[in-house]
Structure 1
Amino acid sequence: MALDLEKIKKIRESLEPVPLPEHDGVCYPSFLPFREKGAEQALKDITNFQSSDTDIMICTYAKSGTHWINEITSMLIRKTAELDNKDKATTMLETISDFSVTDDLQSPRLLNTHCQFRYLPKGQIVQRGKIIHMIRNPKDICASYYYHSRKDNIFLSFFGTWNEFFDLWMSAKCAYGSWYTYEKGIEQAEKDYPCMIFTCSYEEMKKDTERELKRLADFLEIPCTESTLEDIAKATSFQNMQHHKLDSTKELDGKGFIYRKGEIGDWKNYFTVAQNERFDEQYTERFKDSTYKLTFE
């Protein structure tokens, strides 16, 4: 893993910010595959990735708690409450230039992506591979994404203000595009492929971690004792992961920005009254037909 971190550091040092790659009206972070091949080819490569029938895919919109649910799932798979020594970025489909590196991963392979459902590996769908989807209050996502974008400007090329980022979000011009399009795609997939997708709420996972862990363990068909669930809940608490989990972004400023706050309701520190009203109006219109029930606190 040290080698992986050293590679990440060298890659970051060798790159300059560039305009976000774009395909079909959606922008993407300028990860190496997207710089080298272009967004269209990089997405095709992800779709054509050779899935195994045991692969487990974590699918989330950016800043929805991906690192957290990835660590939880890893612990359930490994049947241990010890933090994994891998960084999520090393198994993120968008960041992998040569997919042969995944051949060495132990089965079941735990992979992750922020790409829309329509770009998932075809084999994952054909084989009905398990998919874990975490959804989060989009206001908190917006605030967290702003902070992340300011810190990770090599790949996200953002140097603006909160007001400027808010406008990018509202117009779906931030990396990965529209949150609404992403979540509606997953929601439709749940209907099209029953029992393949496990959806959990970031807020519910925070409020009753052990209950949600039990639901996830049942979905993965992994037997767990109450004590194991309790140990995993403690090990994956925000405070423990913030202090002890490997974070490759620490290579940027010595602090890292993946585990920043992990709070519910941090959006209130950013949104103006006018912005909140504008957001609510858009949310009500764009998400009125969704069955997902979100918590705005």
Structure 2
Amino acid sequence: MALASDKQANEENELLLSLPKERGLGAGPYLHLFQDFWCPSFYFPGVNNFQKHFHAKDSDVFVASFPKSGTTWLKALTFVIVNHQRFSSFDHHPLLSSNPHELVSFPEFILSHDFDDQILSLSNMTEPRLLATHLPFPSLPKSIAKSNCKIIYICRNPFDTFVSAWEFFTKKSSVSSHALTFEEAFEKYCNGIMGFGPWWSHMLGYWNESITRPNKVLFLKYEDLKEDAVFHVKRMVEFLDIPITQGEETTAVIENIINLCRFEKMKDLEVNKSGEIDNIAEKKNFFRKGKIGDWINYFSPSMIEKLSKIIEEKLSGSGLSFKLHS
């Protein structure tokens, strides 16, 4: 077994060395262009293992997102909905004592290490299994696309996504010595060079799939969820076909779910004030501001003009658009 894993590691290393690489926002100093997306070198073995060895079940639920688009919030909401029967008491809910990233794992991250143990724990998870991914839709394991599992995707205004990514990744000790300036990082982002980018193809992959297969992919925007949480959480409940309650009580339960997962509430929990997630990032860094339109405090007029043109060009004709909150 050791020889086989050594052989695989060598093959992965050779493949990684053959791929184009760039500096950009993401885990570690380098991103490698793999299957038309920029994969952080740190996660390359996990992505490879996920694609080759993960077997989806029809009951699986995936939370998918481009990094820094509302992933933490969507993980929390989906965890509460999916596990509503198991954890019906909100006074002693796991979300009050665990970070959402501890409750909902990324297979492409955890399969980067302790492969045998992690693949076993994934296969032994209580069903329905709730997992997360940052992979673009075309790079998901084939079994996910072929199965009847459900995917909830969240995206965010590209302006706020960049600011959130810049703040998050420049705080990470593992990349701080290789940090790009704000202007350098912005140029990379405009060229799609960020972990799991380009951001436009990431969004469009799930957007197009949600139109083609609305029973497979539910597409959400962070801004819409912030502006009318009750409506969109109801959409999530209906999409997942999870029995919450009947009749008039449904809205009250949904409001309780939203309250449990409120940004301010999660940020104030002791469990989210200290400690790290998988030695990758401090828990507190997952809760910065959660505001819409904070980008206006960072961008110069020329930056606004440049990114606006890219958004218009890349999303043109797709039906996907964003309101600029400024």
TM-score bracket, normalised by the shorter chain, equals 0.7 to 0.9
Matches within 5 A, 1:177-256: 177-224=197-244, 225-244=250-269, 246-247=271-272, 250-251=275-276, 256=284
Pick aligned residue for 1:277 from 291, 300, 305: 305
Equivalent in the alignment of 2:74: 69
- 1:54-96, Cα deviation, whole Å (9 max, x unpaired): 1101111111101101110110112144353354266102212
Percent identical across equivalent pairs? 27
Equivalent in the alignment of 1:8: none
Equivalent in the alignment of 1:11: none
Which secondary structure does the structure 2 equivalent of 1:256 belong to?
A: helix
Rounded Cα–Cα distance in structure 1 between residues aligned with 2:237 and 2:251: 11
Superposition deviation, residue 166 in structure 1 = 0.6
- The structure-2 alpha-carbon separation of the partners of 1:25 and 1:52, relative to structure 1 and needing over 3 Å to count, comes to closer
Code of the residue aligned with 1:88 in structure 2: it is: H
Equivalent in the alignment of 2:151: 131
Larger mean CA deviation between 171-180 and 257-266 belongs to 171-180
Which secondary structure does the structure 2 equivalent of 1:28 belong to?
A: strand
Q: Is 1:56 aligned to 2:61, yes or no?
A: yes
Larger mean CA deviation between 225-234 and 44-53 belongs to 44-53
8 Å contact 2:207–2:219 — kept in the other structure?
no
Pick aligned residue for 1:114 from 129, 134, 138: 134
Q: Is 1:95 aligned to 2:97, yes or no?
A: no
8 Å contact 1:135–1:202 — kept in the other structure?
yes
- The structure-2 alpha-carbon separation of the partners of 1:202 and 1:83, relative to structure 1 and needing over 3 Å to count, comes to farther
**TM norm structure 1:** 0.84
Superposition deviation, residue 246 in structure 1 = 4.1
8 Å contact 2:266–2:272 — kept in the other structure?
no
Pick aligned residue for 1:152 from 172, 176, 188: 172
Superposition deviation, residue 102 in structure 1 = 1.2
Superposition deviation, residue 292 in structure 1 = 2.0
Equivalent in the alignment of 2:49: 45
- 1:270-297, Cα deviation, whole Å (9 max, x unpaired): 1111100011111111111121232220
Code of the residue aligned with 1:162 in structure 2: it is: F
Which secondary structure does the structure 2 equivalent of 1:134 belong to?
A: strand
Which secondary structure does the structure 1 equivalent of 2:132 belong to?
A: strand
Superposition deviation, residue 46 in structure 1 = 2.0
Code of the residue aligned with 2:312 in structure 1: it is: T
Rounded Cα–Cα distance in structure 2 between residues aligned with 1:44 and 1:110: 20
Q: Is 1:292 aligned to 2:320, yes or no?
A: yes
Which secondary structure does the structure 2 equivalent of 1:257 belong to?
A: helix
Rounded Cα–Cα distance in structure 2 between residues aligned with 1:294 and 1:67: 21
Rounded Cα–Cα distance in structure 2 between residues aligned with 1:108 and 1:156: 38
Rounded Cα–Cα distance in structure 2 between residues aligned with 1:104 and 1:290: 40
8 Å contact 2:50–2:108 — kept in the other structure?
yes
Larger mean CA deviation between 162-171 and 150-159 belongs to 150-159
Equivalent in the alignment of 1:10: none
For these two proteins, the number of residue pairs brought into alignment is 275
Larger radius of gyration: 2
Rounded Cα–Cα distance in structure 2 between residues aligned with 1:46 and 1:245: 32
Rounded Cα–Cα distance in structure 2 between residues aligned with 1:248 and 1:158: 26
Rounded Cα–Cα distance in structure 2 between residues aligned with 1:72 and 1:96: 22
Which secondary structure does the structure 2 equivalent of 1:203 belong to?
A: helix
Code of the residue aligned with 2:261 in structure 1: it is: T
| Structure 2 gap ranges (5+) | 1-26, 245-249
8 Å contact 1:116–1:182 — kept in the other structure?
yes
Pick aligned residue for 1:29 from 21, 40, 61: 40
- 1:188-212, Cα deviation, whole Å (9 max, x unpaired): 2224434211111211111111111
Code of the residue aligned with 1:266 in structure 2: it is: D
Larger mean CA deviation between 49-58 and 185-194 belongs to 185-194
- The structure-2 alpha-carbon separation of the partners of 1:240 and 1:78, relative to structure 1 and needing over 3 Å to count, comes to same
- The structure-2 alpha-carbon separation of the partners of 1:172 and 1:103, relative to structure 1 and needing over 3 Å to count, comes to same
Rounded Cα–Cα distance in structure 1 between residues aligned with 2:130 and 2:81: 11
Superposition deviation, residue 255 in structure 1 = 6.9
- 1:131-175, Cα deviation, whole Å (9 max, x unpaired): 001121111001001011101252697512211111110111221
Code of the residue aligned with 2:167 in structure 1: it is: Y
| Structure 1 gap ranges (5+) | 1-15
